[in-house]
Amino acid sequence: MFSPKSGTLTDVALVTSLRDGMNLVSYEFVACQDSKKGVLILSEDSVVKLYDFYLSNTCRVILSTDDQIQAPCTPNLDAFAGAAQSLGAGAILVNPWNITEVADSILQALTMSPEDREKRHRHNFVHVTTHTAQEWAETFVSELDDTVIEAKLRTKQVPPPLPEEDAISRYLQSTNRLLILGFNATLTEPVDTPGRRADQIKEMELKLHPELKEALTALCSDRKTTIVVLSGSDQKTLDDNFGEYDMWLAAEHGMFLRLTKGEWMTTMPEHLNMEWIDSVKHVFEYFTERTPRSHFELCETSLVWNYKYADVEFGRLQARDMLQHLWTGPISNASVDVVQGSRSVEVRAVGVTKGAAIDRILGEIVHSKSMITPIDYVLCVGHFLGKDEDVYTFFEPELPSDGLAVARSKQNDGLKLPSDRRPSMKLPVIRSAPKSSQGKAQRPSLNPEKRTANHSCGSGRRASAEKISWNVLDLKGDNYFSCAVGRTRTNARYLLGSSDDVVSFLMKLANAST
């Protein structure tokens, strides 16, 4: 490790490790060199070896502190991207086995022009000061979490079908209901509509299921019911499909929020790093050009490459190649999650999930409606990617130690969630959207750690002196219906087969309540 003093005095740092994890020494050196612009010589060998290992084993490797390779699983380059990969553009890269090359590099470093030193240092300094250890650790932990989620989903029991009668009768008995609905493959026409020819290219824009209009209008007009469409789609897609209804729209997995009568605002965590987006877009363009009938969507917080209309087998092969490009290229050091769907590849900023957004959304709804009684019924239906299934577990009462939601027996306790299951709860404020909602004041989000709102009920959008404390949610255990559409491995309590079933259920719900 460099002490600040030795790091500042050093002209050249020669780091020739054969394997490395983060290689903090190199980072420390760069951090100390803002005035001297010393030159970093790095071993390229460690990274090459690890890449070879990765490519030949296609497995996740975790480097422990003593650099032993452990626990194979699924591919992830972030875990072992060494310093040469991160700082390679500013350093002189050498083969540490080649003594002549190492000697030459030392000479090159010692005789380098001040301009060249400055340029190389600037590059590395920007990298070191923007890619913090915290960011690295967050990405690492997020990926470990994903592995656990995936493993748990694989061993889960298939939940029962949605008990429609019970869901309807409880809906009728409750007075403050919240319906959270996904969009794609939940409220849209099924993609694999019978009668569709294999070569037929379906219209790519997502469209609301035509039979849903009446039911949605009826449900939205019920003052006891709040509807949120929580989708990965962008703001325009939701505007186009739901603009006419009186409901909440949560676009890009809840990062943008709007009451259809109001303007878009953002719920995005501050400092979301989006520098990676252009390079990922480049990879997506490359694969879209080479995969007929595939397309990609560019959102503000994510990019989705979709091959649901392409030849599935070819699409899968392309997706596999794409993942390798992404893992070894532009995102290997970025704070992103790569989410693989059955026919899609999605790259998002870390922290962009429906479950992470829902507390901020709830906070805004409670505030905006000036709610003074708890929500006593929640229906959450979607065809969500595993990553977004955290929205189902958000509403679960305390779970057994396996941490998974199961179709459970009756519970009469109000909703309490332990903080150890609530990593996303310490979320920052709702901010005004840059364009449409400028001028809106920032306001702390609801902190439903104990599902208790200490919420502003004043006229402004900032917390006022007048505060009312009450439980935001009072679901009494069984007044919560989470339902996955067209999936069997899920954290939801119940299942519906397709969006046709969702439509039919929502129609029944609307009819029953009018």
Ligand X SMILES: O=P(O)(O)OC[C@H]1O[C@H](O[C@H]2O[C@H](CO)[C@@H](O)[C@H](O)[C@H]2O)[C@H](O)[C@@H](O)[C@@H]1O
Q: What are the residues binding ligand X (CB under 6 A)?
A: 182-186, 231-233, 304, 306, 308, 341-344, 346, 382-385, 388
Cβ-based burial of 153 (10 A; exposed 0-12, middle 13-18, buried ≥19): middle
Nearer to ligand X, 355 or 382 (CB): 382
Question: Are 180 and 391 a contacting pair, CB within 8 Å?
Answer: yes
Number of residue whose CB is nearest ligand X? 341
Distance of alpha carbon 346 from the chain centroid: 9
Rounded to whole angstroms, the Cα distance separating 316 from 276 reads: 24
Nearer to ligand X, 19 or 383 (CB): 383
Phi, psi of 496 (to 5 degrees): -130, 150
Minimum separation from the CB atom of position 209 to ligand X (A): 13
Nearer to ligand X, 23 or 233 (CB): 233
Minimum separation from the CB atom of position 251 to ligand X (A): 9
Minimum separation from the CB atom of position 388 to ligand X (A): 6
Nearer to ligand X, 112 or 303 (CB): 303
> Which tokens go with 316?
């899968």
Minimum separation from the CB atom of position 299 to ligand X (A): 9
Nearer to ligand X, 7 or 159 (CB): 159
- Which H helix or E strand runs over 305? strand 302-306
Nearer to ligand X, 174 or 186 (CB): 186
Nearer to ligand X, 383 or 443 (CB): 383
* Of the candidates 398, 416, 414, 418, the residue with the CA atom closest to the CA atom of residue 474: 414
* Of the candidates 2, 46, 32, the residue with the CA atom closest to the CA atom of residue 129: 32
β-strands 336-340, 344-349 pairing? antiparallel
Phi, psi of 426 (to 5 degrees): -85, 65
Minimum separation from the CB atom of position 334 to ligand X (A): 19
Q: How many CB atoms lie within 10 A of CB 205?
A: 10
Minimum separation from the CB atom of position 36 to ligand X (A): 47
Rounded to whole angstroms, the Cα distance separating 251 from 253 reads: 6
Minimum separation from the CB atom of position 237 to ligand X (A): 8
* Of the candidates 386, 375, 388, the residue with the CA atom closest to the CA atom of residue 471: 375
